[in-house]
Structure 1
Amino acid sequence: MLTAIHPKLPMRDKATTRDFYINKLGFHEFGTTDFDGYLMVEKDQVQIHFFEFKDLEPKANYGQVYIRTDDIDRLYNLYSTIGLIHPNGPLAIKPWGQREFALLDPDSNLLTFGQSI
C-alpha cells in the first residue's frame, strides 16, 4: 500500500535552501514548475520538500530526516571534505545497529544519514 515518503521541512529562504541542497549536498530540483514559497529536491531515490516559513527561528527548529544510504563512507567523506558534518554528528556506530553521521542545513533541519552494519 505505502510506496514512498517525502518529508516536508521548513525553510526561511528558498534561494539559500536551494543552493545548499543542490550545490553542497548534490541534490537536484524536482519538477518543472517553480512554486512560490515551495521547493522540491531529489537525489537518487530520496525526495525532500520545503515550505516557506520566514519567521522560523533556526534554534527552535526540530525538523529532522533520517536518510538511509548504501555507501556511508563515501557520503561521509564527501560531506566532511567540505565541512558539513555537525560537530556532534561524526560518523559513529550506534547501539541500534547503524553507522550514522549528521549535519544541519541552513535552517537547522537535522539530516542524519545511516547504513546498517
Structure 2
Amino acid sequence: MLTAIHPKLPMRNKTTTLNFYLHLGFTIFGSADYEDYLMLERDSIQIHFFLFSELNPSENYGQVYIRTHDIDGLHQSFFERNVAIHPNGNLQTKPWGQREFSILDPDNNLLTFGQSLYNS
C-alpha cells in the first residue's frame, strides 16, 4: 500500500538550501511558499526541508539514500556542475552490490546516490 517517501531534513537557511539543490537539478515542488519549509523535487523524488536555524552542521546526522538507474550519468552531471563529492564517498562499487557516491549539502546532510548492480 505504501507509494512514496519524502524525507524531511533540517536546513539553517532556506535560500542557501534552495540554491544548492537548484544547482543539483532540483526544482521547487508546489505553488505555496512557506517561510520555514521547503519542498524540492527531481525526477520522481521529493526532499522536504524544515528550518532549524540553530543547527550545528557538525552535529547533524541527516542522511538520505537515493536510488538511480544511471549512477554514472548522475555522477558525471554533478562533476560538470562542480558539485563537491564527499571525500569518503567517491563513486565506487560496494561489496553489497551497489555502485554509489555521496555528497554533503550546506547543512551537512549526507546524500548517497546508488544503483543496484543486479536490478539496473
Aligned mates of 1:79, 1:86 — CA distance in 2: 12
2:24 counterpart residue number:
25
Give 3-state SS (helix, strand or coil) of 2:16's partner. helix
Matched position secondary structure for 1:102: strand
TM superposition shift of 1:87: 1.2
Question: What stretches of structure 1 move > 6 A for 4+ residues in a row?
Answer: none
Q: Which residue of 2 aligns with 1:8?
A: 8
Mapping 1:1-117, distance limit 5 Å: 1-22=1-22, 24-81=23-80, 82-117=82-117
Runs of 5+ in structure 1 lacking a partner?
A: none
Deviation at 1:84, TM superposition (A): 1.9
Q: Which amino acid aligns with 1:108?
A: N
Q: Secondary structure at the match of 2:69?
A: coil
Identity %: 65
Q: Secondary structure at the match of 1:107?
A: coil
Shift, 1:88, TM fit: 1.0
The AA in structure 2 aligned to 1:64 is Q
Q: Could you tell me how far apart the structure 1 residues matched to 2:89 and 2:69 are?
A: 18
Provide the rounded CA distance (Å) in 2 between the counterparts of 1:95 and 1:80: 24
Q: Once superposed, what is the RMSD of the aligned Cα atoms?
A: 0.7
Shift, 1:77, TM fit: 1.0
**Distance in structure 2 (CA, Å) of the matches to 1:80 and 1:95:** 24
- Measure the CA separation in 1 of the matches of 2:2 and 2:67: 18
Q: Report the count of equivalent residues.
A: 116
Could you report, residue by residue, the CA deviation over 1:53-109 in whole angstroms, capped at 9, with x for unpaired residues?
Answer: 000000100000000000100111111231421111100111110000000000000
SS of equivalent residue, structure 1 residue 114:
strand
Structure 1 length-normalised TM: 0.97
